[in-house]
Structure 1
Amino acid sequence: MKFSILIANYNNGKFFKDCYDSIINQHYQNWEVIILDDHSTDNSIEKIKEIIGSDPRFKLFENDNNYGVGVTKAKLIELSTGDVCGYLDPDDIIKPNAIKSAVQVLEKKKDIVLTHSRLAKCDEKLNILSEFKAAMQIPNGQKNFFNFPIQIAPFVAFRKDVYMKTSKINPELKIAEDQDLYYKMYEMGKVHFINQTDYLYRAHDGGISQNNNKKKSYEYYARAIFEAMQRRNLKKINRRTIPEKYTDPQEIFDLLEYQNKIPFRIKKKFIIILQTIFG
């Protein structure tokens, strides 16, 4: 099973050496790396070319303009040739067993379409600051699942052939394109949680989530949820009517606020236990 590591780069070439080293040190070696630069304005291309050299496992492409993360990440999948795909940002790293663990699950369990593990937030020098403790197994086959609160987070691996049967990532999403992907894969099969920390997320001034994008992130996240509700033909959720058109992100999140409450969380845990026992 070939694994395609997908890297969308924009002005992060200065951090790429750590990312590169973490890939080279993977215990599972049947992989390729597809890098797509989104028209960087720094010396990213030169830096990346210098690091990857002539290694044929690394393929570097460039956008002819700055199109944003939705377009770039969707195109990365199209450029890949692997059976399984997983995104890795050029300023982050993965631990040595990340790919092997995902592949082992996907080879063994054919009904699993996506795996996820746990990330840790790090400082600029990749010293761990905190672990994302909310990552966990989710209930499968639930029309009201929208990763709210967030439980699926990198490191994520997904079957390419299944993805190609979906409507694919919405290229208009500048942020929350990952949530859009998770929803669409979730609608196609089962999701499996690997209980280990595989992804080290580097927090720095140049990171997309650090650039005062909180409000935009909130809006795109709500839009991805609303589009999933439409695909699933939902008219109501928790006895509340879903709007026919998306206008206000808060309106969408208010519909899902019950999923933060204790009764829903108890019910969800019970469903997960039953699904774990009976498959």
Structure 2
Amino acid sequence: MNDLVSIITPTYNCGEFIEETITSVINQTHENWEMIIVDDCSTDNTKEVIDKLSRHDKRIKYFLLEKNSGAAVTRTKAMELASGNFIAFLDSDDLWMPHKLEYQLQFMKKNDYAFTCTAYEQIDEIGNSLNKVIKTNMKTNYNGILLSCPVGNSTVMYSVDKLGKFVVPNIRKRNDDALWLQILKKEKYIYGMPDILMKYRIRNNSISSNKLDLVKYHWKLYREIEHLSVIRSIFHICCWGVLKTFKIK
């Protein structure tokens, strides 16, 4: 049997987008997957949308947290529930290309890679292309993630058989970067595929849209979670600011 891929999808009030996200998983050419959707106490119709789809496809598994806890806790819970040989991440408003899982698994097996990501394109809130592709590096190490993090969360897949499971550091924003840093303490590189296999939705009310607000979360990541020196933390925040200002990333 082909390897089971556990798809980690935290969600909160994404009823407007999550049906399209789940459909992009149902349409995968690699069919041996389970989609672990953990709901952080949504107040919209998220549960109803998921229930409608899961009634027809038992690979879609829905879990509701007892209290609103944030994306980091939600991702960790989904990873705890996962039973696959591989874990892939998909946010509840992003979309996968139909061959995403198939091509990425082939890429990992052919090269014996344990931790990978792919290129992706940006779409607007209603799904129109923004004609912008985010490319990957062939390989990125711990310091590379600190510097610019050229990794799209919904493109990442890693081998549970080789690396095990992880606890996502509990910060409200940049917890995906924090997770990659944890994995890169165990695996030297994350390897990038040039193929565009994900569509990343840019939303007007996105939690990551306020760049100034993100500075404090970068500081928390560098100082409290990664325990970098003050000077090194300031250096990385400045580098991040320059990359964002000039849209290098």
Counterpart position of 1:184: 182
Counterpart position of 1:215: 212
Q: Deviations over 1:226-267 (max 9, x none)?
A: 45654xxx7xxxxxxx23xxxxxx971425757999xxxxxx
Cα RMSD between the aligned structures? Answer: 2.6
- Which 5+ residue runs of structure 1 have no aligned equivalent? 235-241, 244-249, 262-279
**Cα 1:42/1:82, change in 2 over 3 Å:** same
2:76 maps to 1:74: yes
Q: 1:48 is matched with which residue: 32, 47, 50?
A: 50
Counterpart position of 2:5: 3
Q: Deviations over 1:171-210 (max 9, x none)?
A: x211111101111112222321100111111222343224
Question: Any residues of structure 2 matched to 1:9-20 within 5 Å, and which?
Answer: 9-20=11-22
* Max Rg structure: 1
- Please identify runs of 4+ aligned residues in structure 1 that moved more than 4 A: 255-261
Shift of 1:58: 0.8
Counterpart position of 1:193: 192
TM-score, normalised with respect to structure 2:
0.84
Counterpart position of 1:32: 34
Question: Any residues of structure 2 matched to 1:138-217 within 5 Å, and which?
Answer: 138-140=139-141, 144-154=143-153, 155-164=155-164, 168-170=167-169, 172-189=170-187, 190-210=189-209, 212=210, 214-217=211-214
Question: Any residues of structure 2 matched to 1:94-109 within 5 Å, and which?
Answer: 94-109=96-111
Of 179-188 and 56-65, more deviation after overlay is shown by 179-188
2:217 maps to 1:225: no
The number of aligned residues is 238
Q: Deviations over 1:84-142 (max 9, x none)?
A: 111111211110111112211222333x22111112111122121033435222344xx
Mapped to 2, the partners of 1:59 and 1:19 lie a distance apart of 14
Letter in 2 for 1:83: N
Letter in 2 for 1:72: T
- Which 5+ residue runs of structure 2 have no aligned equivalent? 243-249
TM-score, normalised with respect to structure 1:
0.76
Secondary structure of the residue that 2:120 maps to in structure 1? Answer: strand
2:125 maps to 1:124: yes
Mapped to 2, the partners of 1:15 and 1:92 lie a distance apart of 8
Counterpart position of 2:66: 64
Q: 2:86 is matched with which residue: 84, 87, 112?
A: 84
Counterpart position of 1:254: 235
